[in-house]
Amino acid sequence: MISVNDFRTGLTVLVEGNLFRVLEFQHVKPGKGAAFVRSKLRNLRNGNVTEKTFRAGEKVEKAQIDNRKMQYLYAQGDEHVFMDLESYEQTTLAEAQIQDELMYLLENMELHIQSYQGEMIGIELPNTVTLEVAETEPGIKGDTASGGTKPAKMETGLYVNVPFFVNQGDKLIVNTGDGSYVSRA
């Protein structure tokens, strides 16, 4: 059991028999009344996002998640195929289970598949990924010092705000936590 006061983004918990991942949480201490924790949780079985409020100090069960290193192979309809790097066994995950991570997935990328009691529930991406710029407006000479940004569409369809000096075809390092530009690769 874990106290809701110890919530962290990415934590997996069991609430009312359902498996949830904490997306956001906020500790609220009103001037009158007891403190509480307002949270946004994603159901890992169907992908629905729920807002739930807990009393401060309330206990929920922490889910024991197993991680296995796998390789992303390809998309087949609305399912995505992964291969275990040790046994070469192939596993599929529904698009609804990994919809937030899809914009960072490239074929042959190695990552961790998370499972709960043998049931595949999602993936854990590395902190950063290297993606190629598919399209962006060309930089104008003299704009590099102003510190501004422009939108760039990456090879996976993700839009990232990048500095003016970035051109089409450049490889960039992108933060998977918030989708922000980190640096050139």
The CATH number assigned to the domain holding 135 equals 2.40.50.140
Q: Is pLDDT at 143 greater than 60 in this prediction?
A: no
Of the candidates 160, 111, 110, the one whose C-alpha atom is nearest the C-alpha of residue 132 is 160
Long-range contacts of 16-22 (CB under 8 A, 24+ apart): 18/43, 18/45, 19/43, 19/44, 19/45, 19/63, 19/116, 19/121, 20/44, 20/50, 21/122
The answer on 13 and 37 residing in a single domain is yes
**Number of residues that this document lists for the chain:** 185
Residues 164 and 181 sit within 8 Å (Cβ to Cβ): no
The answer on 135 and 177 residing in a single domain is yes
Burial of 162 (0-12, 13-18, 19+ CB in 10 A): buried
pLDDT value of residue 99: 79
Q: If pLDDT is split at 50, 70 and 90, which confidence band does 127 have?
A: confident
Q: Is pLDDT at 102 greater than 90 in this prediction?
A: no
Q: What is the percent of the chain with per-residue pLDDT over 70, rounded to a whole number?
A: 95
Distance CA 161, CA 154 (A): 10
Q: Is pLDDT at 21 greater than 80 in this prediction?
A: yes
Q: Is pLDDT at 23 greater than 80 in this prediction?
A: yes
Supply φ then ψ for residue 96, to 5 degrees.
-60, -30
Distance CA 144, CA 140 (A): 8
Its pTM stands at 0.70
Average pLDDT over residues 120-146: 80
Average pLDDT of the chain to the nearest whole number:
87
What total number of domains does the chain contain? 3
Q: Is pLDDT at 181 greater than 80 in this prediction?
A: yes
Domain boundary among 107, 124, 141: 124
- Beginning with the edge strand found earlier in the chain, give each strand of the sheet holding 119-124 in spatial order: 90-94, 79-84, 66-76, 110-116, 119-124
Domain boundary among 108, 124, 140: 124
Residues spanned by the domain of 28: 2-62
The answer on 70 and 58 residing in a single domain is no
Which position has the higher pLDDT, 96 or 136?
A: 136
Q: Is pLDDT at 176 greater than 80 in this prediction?
A: yes
pLDDT value of residue 83: 93
The answer on 116 and 83 residing in a single domain is yes
The answer on 144 and 101 residing in a single domain is no
Q: If pLDDT is split at 50, 70 and 90, which confidence band does 145 have?
A: low
Average pLDDT over residues 47-52: 86
Average pLDDT over residues 57-64: 88
The answer on 114 and 70 residing in a single domain is yes
